[in-house]
A and B are shown apart, each in its own frame.
Chain A
Amino acid sequence: MPTVRLRDASEYPEPARRLFELSKQWFGVDFKQPPAMSRVMAWDLAFGGPHGRAMKRAMAPGEFTRAEKEMVAAAVSGVNACEY
């Protein structure tokens, strides 16, 4: 049970909903609701905005592919014992 109530996308202001559209494009999935993490980060766009940009920059293809980076991210999440 989450510590907070996750709001539906419709409960967010327009700038946050634009972020959700970008999130759909990023994952290539037409979510019924944006992923929980996207909704959390949209709570405070002054934090979630730059954090998300840093994440996208880190995950963009470079010397390593996006898929390779997703695997590194999964390993880091696993070592952090994060179920999400």
Chain B
Amino acid sequence: MTGDAAWYEAAFVVGITNALNVVADGLDEALPPLDEDATPDCRALFDEIRAFYGGAAVPVPFRVLARDPSYAADVWAAARRAFADGRLPRRLKAALAFAVSMTTRSRFGIAFHLGEMRRLGVGERGVMEIVGVTQMFSSYTKIADTLQLAPDMADLAPEDPTPAPGA
């Protein structure tokens, strides 16, 4: 994974995954998701979301956010951009989101991104690979933090000298 572009993509996936999980898990009782038919202002948005996810139901966070259609549309635009194929394939992005959701114990995120991984062709072996990586690094990170280890492997990869996109 050389070059910064892939890492920017990964970071955006991590960020927006957490943002969607926070809404889905944190607001499900206080601000329950709206029915897809009860939000005519979001019809086009919901159609687009359904198409992106292979025709499945609109994910919970977008139905919560549909109370403010303009805001929901912006969040969706960011999420779509983050999860679309780019330098990183969509299946890897789903795996990243699944790992992040496991790490943050998001019930919504775990179920949703596990479903996305499977829909995108990841088999049970692949799912268990991501479970293993997530579990092992949840262990390593806590051991390192408990012993307050200083980073000693951060300089292994060469710096990417390329400018920002569009420069």
Please, which residues of chain A bring their CB within 8 A of the CB of B6?
A: 71
Closest Cβ–Cβ distance, residue B162 to chain A (whole Å): 19
Contact between B125 and A36, CB atoms less than 8 A apart? no
How does the 8 Å CB contact mask read for B17-61 relative to A, with 1 for contact and 0 for none? 010000000000000000000000000000000000000000000
Q: Which residue of A lies closest to B126 (CB)?
A: A63
How does the 8 Å CB contact mask read for A55-84 relative to B, with 1 for contact and 0 for none? 101110011100111111111111110111
Contact between B132 and A51, CB atoms less than 8 A apart? no
Please, which residues of chain B bring their CB within 8 A of the CB of A29?
A: 156
Q: Which residue of A lies closest to B2 (CB)?
A: A67
Contact between A82 and B132, CB atoms less than 8 A apart? no
Please, which residues of chain A bring their CB within 8 A of the CB of B144?
A: 36-37, 40, 82, 84
B146: contacting residue among A3, A57, A68, A72, CB under 8 A: A3
Q: Indicate whether B141 reaches chain A with its CB closer than 8 angstroms.
A: yes
How does the 8 Å CB contact mask read for A27-44 relative to B, with 1 for contact and 0 for none? 101000001110011000
B141: contacting residue among A4, A40, A69, A84, CB under 8 A: A84
Contact between A51 and B139, CB atoms less than 8 A apart? yes
A24-B75 Cα distance, complex, nearest whole Å: 44
Q: Which residue of A lies closest to B13 (CB)?
A: A75
User: Chain A contact residues: over half helix, strand or loop, or mixed?
Assistant: helix
Please, which residues of chain B bring their CB within 8 A of the CB of A83?
A: 150-151
Q: Indicate whether B10 reaches chain A with its CB closer than 8 angstroms.
A: yes
Q: Indicate whether B152 reaches chain A with its CB closer than 8 angstroms.
A: yes
Q: Indicate whether B77 reaches chain A with its CB closer than 8 angstroms.
A: no
Q: A40-B143, A74-B10 are in contact. Are A35 and B103 (CB under 8 A)?
A: no
Q: Indicate whether A54 reaches chain B with its CB closer than 8 angstroms.
A: yes
Q: Indicate whether B70 reaches chain A with its CB closer than 8 angstroms.
A: no
A72: contacting residue among B99, B145, B152, CB under 8 A: B99
Q: Indicate whether A46 reaches chain B with its CB closer than 8 angstroms.
A: no
Q: Which residue of A lies closest to B145 (CB)?
A: A82
A80-B140 Cα distance, complex, nearest whole Å: 10
**Extra A-B contacts (12), CB below 8 Å, given A2-B150, A79-B18:** A36-B149, A59-B136, A63-B126, A64-B95, A71-B92, A72-B130, A76-B133, A76-B141, A80-B137, A80-B138, A80-B142, A84-B149
